[in-house]
Amino acid sequence: MTGAHAAGSPVVSIIVPAYNAAEFLESAIERLLGQTLDDFEIIVVDDGSTDTTATIGARAAAANANVHYFREEHNGGVARARARAVAESRGEFLWFVDCDDEWADSALEKLMAAARSTGADVIVCGASYVYPGRRRPLVVPLLNNPITGAEAFVLLLDGELTGHLWNKLFRRSLTREIEFTPTRVHSDLAMVAQLLAAADRVAFISDSLYSYVVRGGSIIRSGLRRAESLLLVEQAVTNAAITLDTRIIRSNSYGYFRLRYVLLSGLKDALTGPYDADERAEIVSELRSRLTWRLILLAARRRDWRRLVLAGTAKLSVPLHRRVLRLTAERGVA
């Protein structure tokens, strides 16, 4: 489908970016059509796939009035695909899903019930990561009452609220105030930070409604060059913080965010990613210069012993830090 939607606006638009997703897309659409909430549309944006994703998406749209398929001619990344999908959507709320994941049939019904009862702009639900042979619950604050978007933003910085899109329902009007940061990694985080900063009220439900399936080819486990993306994410989060209160960027919460997502992620990328020796040395030197003992001690204050060890070894000795990274990789620590 390439034209306008049918008349009338659904309650929820389900956003499904798809790139070479032929293995999963048909099943994902069928499962989404089984949601117990009646009033929704599914927006599939094919991000320049080279497999049969286009055939599957077009066929689903032809067969189901509430499935809409759009295709980008060239692969531009998931952020651009989501931006196109949001532009084509009509729902009052948005739910972002990955077609190779799993979710409860009642997910939208429960998320919308919470949205209606609380009047919140963002609803956060429980979720889990699914690894081969094991499942790990996602950290979700257990709060009985809604909080402000600014309070939720600080929880995000503190690591008490994750930067994933898929376990959250967003009021679509919030997207008018954000940029779809074109990053290869942590694009979810850049969006969530901006959406929380734009929200008046955020509510939480304890129900575990989404399962993120971690596969061997997942971006978070692949060997891509991430340096540029990490800088873009840092800038997006910083800009969101400034829109809320300039004092945030001097806070311990912001420092802890930088330690985890910018400095430690950047060092891991530089030391394990596909860089030449000169590039690697330049990135490592720059990140180590930003890794202050004040930031390192923030991990100790939060009893985040793993990151304390990683940060301390990175500050003291690159060869020692490499050994710690190898050890954590061998033990399967994310």
Considering 219, 239, 265, which residue would you say is the last residue of a domain? Answer: 219
Cα–Cα distance, 167 to 127 (Å, whole number): 6
Res 184: pLDDT? 78
- The predicted-structure confidence for 214-248, as pLDDT tens digits, reads as follows 976 544 444 578 888 999 999 999 999 999 999 99
What's the domain count of the chain? Answer: 2
The alpha carbon of 91 is separated from its chain's Cα centroid by a whole number of angstroms, namely: 20
Burial 39-58 (b: 16+ CB within 10 A, else e): ebbbbbbbbbbeeebbebbb
Res 333: pLDDT? 55
Q: Does residue 69 lie within any of the structural domains?
A: yes
pLDDT greater than 90 at residue 25 = yes
The answer on 201 and 146 residing in a single domain is: yes
The answer on 272 and 125 residing in a single domain is: no
Cα–Cα distance, 181 to 191 (Å, whole number): 7
- The predicted-structure confidence for 255-272, as pLDDT tens digits, reads as follows 999 999 999 999 999 999
The two structure tokens encoding residue 91: 């729902």
The answer on 272 and 152 residing in a single domain is: no
Query: What's the whole-number mean pLDDT along residues 320-327?
Result: 94
Low-confidence winner among 39-43, 221-225, 271-275 (lowest mean pLDDT): 221-225
Considering 170, 197, 219, which residue would you say is the last residue of a domain? Answer: 219
Average pLDDT, whole number, for the chain? Answer: 93
The answer on 215 and 279 residing in a single domain is: no
Q: Does residue 230 lie within any of the structural domains?
A: no
Cα–Cα distance, 334 to 330 (Å, whole number): 10
Res 216: pLDDT? 67
The answer to whether 122 and 203 are in contact (CB under 8 A) is yes
Res 7: pLDDT? 52
List Cα–Cα distances, 19 to 6, 50, 52, in angstroms.
26, 8, 10
Res 218: pLDDT? 46
The residue type at 214:
V
The answer on 143 and 184 residing in a single domain is: yes
Q: Does residue 55 lie within any of the structural domains?
A: yes
The residue type at 175:
T
Cα–Cα distance, 11 to 113 (Å, whole number): 12
The answer on 277 and 145 residing in a single domain is: no
The answer on 286 and 159 residing in a single domain is: no
Res 6: pLDDT? 45
One-letter-per-residue 3-state SS of the chain: CCCCCCCCCCCEEEEEEECCCCCCHHHHHHHHHCCCCCCEEEEEEEECCCCCHHHHHHHHHHHCCCEEEEEECCCCCHHHHHHHHHHHCCCCEEEECCCCCEECCCHHHHHHHHHHHHCCCEEEEEEEEEECCEEEECCCCCCCCCEEHHHHHHHHHHCCCCCCCCCEEEEHHHHHHCCCCCCCCCHHHHHHHHHHHHCCEEEEEEEEEEEEECCCCCHHHCCCCCHHHHHHHHHHHHHHHHHHCHHHHHCHHHHHHHHHHHHHHHHHHHHHCCCCHHHHHHHHHHHHHHCCHHHHHHHHHCCCHHHHHHHHHHHHCHHHHHHHHHHHHHCCCC
Q: Does residue 66 lie within any of the structural domains?
A: yes
The answer to whether 311 and 259 are in contact (CB under 8 A) is yes
pLDDT greater than 70 at residue 146 = yes
Q: Does residue 98 lie within any of the structural domains?
A: yes
pLDDT band per the 50, 70, 90 thresholds, residue 65:
very high
Domain that holds residue 35: 12-219
Residue bearing the bigger pLDDT, 183 or 25:
25
pLDDT greater than 90 at residue 254 = yes
The answer on 255 and 215 residing in a single domain is: no
What is the share, in percent, of the chain residues with pLDDT greater than 70?
95
Q: Does residue 311 lie within any of the structural domains?
A: yes
The answer on 293 and 159 residing in a single domain is: no
CATH code of the domain containing 51: 3.90.550.10
Predicted TM-score (pTM) of the model is: 0.91
pLDDT greater than 50 at residue 4 = no
Query: What's the whole-number mean pLDDT along residues 100-123?
Result: 98
Q: Does residue 146 lie within any of the structural domains?
A: yes
The answer on 210 and 276 residing in a single domain is: no
The two structure tokens encoding residue 205: 């439900």
Res 88: pLDDT? 97
In sequence order, what are the beta bridge partners of 135? 130
Res 142: pLDDT? 85
The answer on 259 and 212 residing in a single domain is: no
pLDDT greater than 60 at residue 76 = yes
Res 220: pLDDT? 43
The answer to whether 202 and 132 are in contact (CB under 8 A) is no
What is the share, in percent, of the chain residues with pLDDT greater than 90?
86
Q: Does residue 243 lie within any of the structural domains?
A: no
The two structure tokens encoding residue 192: 């969530």
The answer to whether 57 and 25 are in contact (CB under 8 A) is yes
pLDDT greater than 80 at residue 299 = yes
The answer on 256 and 215 residing in a single domain is: no
